[in-house]
Homo-oligomer: A and B are copies of this chain.
Amino acid sequence: MRQSQLFTKTRREDPKDETAKNAKLLIRAGFIHKELAGVYSLLPLGLLALEKLKTIIRAEMNAVGGTEVALSALQNQDSWQKSGRWSDEVLDVWFKTELQGGGQVGLAPTHEEAMTALMKDHLGSYKDLPIYVYQFQTKFRNELRAKSGLLRGREFIMKDLYSFSDSEAALDDFYDRMKGAYERIYERVGLGELTYITFADGGSFSKYSHEYQTLSEAGEDTIFVSRDRHLAVNKEVLTEETLSELGLRRDELEERRAIEVGNIFKLGTKFSEALGLYFTDQNGQKQPAIMGSYGLGLGRLLATIVEVMSDDRGLVWPRSVAPFPLHLVWVPGQGEAAAEAADRFYEELLAAGREALYDDRPLQAGEKFADSDLLGLPYRVVVSDKTLAAGKWELKNRATGEITMVNQAELINLCFGG
């Protein structure tokens, strides 16, 4: 993409109405726009980064057998009355609104009810099971405080998968496969090391649920980390019983702030019984489907990457999530040589299906380099009279600052290679 075609502008100053680092930087770099507290629009570079996350997560959900759907935001209150979660006292983040013809509808804060209800039209016998369905869908949560940028939104895109199984053993088996999928996702977006599977309260059906928590001072949660075992325990289940079950000693745990970047939960038959989702088992008996739910907020994941990877010059994207792997920066010089070389380079990349961000704007080098650092693409190459004379490209790694002199083939391999 030519930067002259990108309508977004960068800013040198932090927006005054934001306190969270992720919001400040993403707004300054033109990735997002604030509509109101906790509600952000995605501008071109922000949307590209989000789509990269989606592609990674979709691949992992498909790999465990998930099928993609897209449920509505507006919710029929019937299903929520049945589950007991329609009341604002039970679920305190509802946005509700009125139909013109009369009757109240809600904006989905989550989709267990809707997914269970629709499955009643499709589930008949044990032969239909297991079913794994997921979506990337907007959730609405009426948060009283929304000061953390994309970490806690009133409107945000979540990947949520729901599993329907015919036995607890089948649920347990799938649940373990989802742990693997979640680990691969955090690994692929560069958060593997910092992200800990964290034991949390399991509700009525099972003893524990699991959160994925990324260490960060920006986090709202406190967890107790065992670095050796690469796991953690949530405050609410930090009891002698838990420690003994997990084989942990209190004094080997480190208290840390962390961001919850995902959670997986065995629901059991809570929703299937409440909403009447039954199947006929091998003996002809009706049984409630045994469910699990597996959430992952995309905006929060993006914000977490910003919180833990960015530096004082701006954003720093891992290659897997960056809107583009390469920032091709033309610096105006004497005559047309550099401009022509930069154009040719960009067109060659495009022709080979390799998308870079190409700064073709007639601005001073200093302003361009500051912008480049702020946008944070993984690699930067400068095309100027000076670099042309050098005969090799100077490739700068945004995260490490390291500069490598490479020829074009090496550059392409580093930026676009496997």
Query: Are B142 and A100 interface neighbours, CB within 8 A?
Result: yes
Query: Are B72 and A40 interface neighbours, CB within 8 A?
Result: yes
- Known pairs A73-B73, A144-B101, A155-B72; A131 contacts B7 (CB<8 A): yes
- Known pairs A39-B72, A42-B69, A72-B40; A100 contacts B144 (CB<8 A): yes
- Chain A: residues with Cβ within 8 Å of the partner, total of 56
Q: Please give, as numbers and ranges, the residues of chain B lying within 8 Å of A35 by CB-CB distance.
A: 71-72, 74-76, 114, 118
Chain B residue nearest to A124 in the complex (CB): B9
Complexed CA–CA distance, A35 and B105 (Å):
11
Taken together, the copies of this chain in the complex come to 2
Q: Is A206 an interface residue (CB 8 A)?
A: no
Q: Which of B39, B41, B73, B155 contacts A155 (CB 8 A)?
A: B73
- The segment from A91-99, A236-244, A364-372 that touches chain B is A91-99
Query: Are A41 and B71 interface neighbours, CB within 8 A?
Result: yes
Interface flags, A101-117, vs B, CB<8A=1, else 0: 10001010000001000
Complexed CA–CA distance, A39 and B155 (Å):
19
User: A108: shortest Cβ distance to chain B, in Å?
Assistant: 9
Query: Are B96 and A97 interface neighbours, CB within 8 A?
Result: yes
Complexed CA–CA distance, A65 and B144 (Å):
40
Of residues 1 through 26 on chain A, the ones whose CB sits less than 8 Å from some CB of chain B are 5-9
Q: Please give, as numbers and ranges, the residues of chain B lying within 8 Å of A41 by CB-CB distance.
A: 69-72, 114, 118
Chain B residue nearest to A92 in the complex (CB): B100
Q: Please give, as numbers and ranges, the residues of chain B lying within 8 Å of A133 by CB-CB distance.
A: 7
User: A259: shortest Cβ distance to chain B, in Å?
Assistant: 22
Chain B residue nearest to A36 in the complex (CB): B76
Query: Are B72 and A44 interface neighbours, CB within 8 A?
Result: no
Query: Are A5 and B44 interface neighbours, CB within 8 A?
Result: no
Query: Are B5 and A65 interface neighbours, CB within 8 A?
Result: yes
Complexed CA–CA distance, A122 and B101 (Å):
41
Which A positions have Cβ atoms within 8 angstroms of B?
Answer: 5-9, 30, 33, 35-36, 39-44, 47, 50, 65, 67-76, 93, 95-101, 105, 107, 114, 118-119, 121-124, 128, 131, 133, 138, 140, 142-145, 154-155
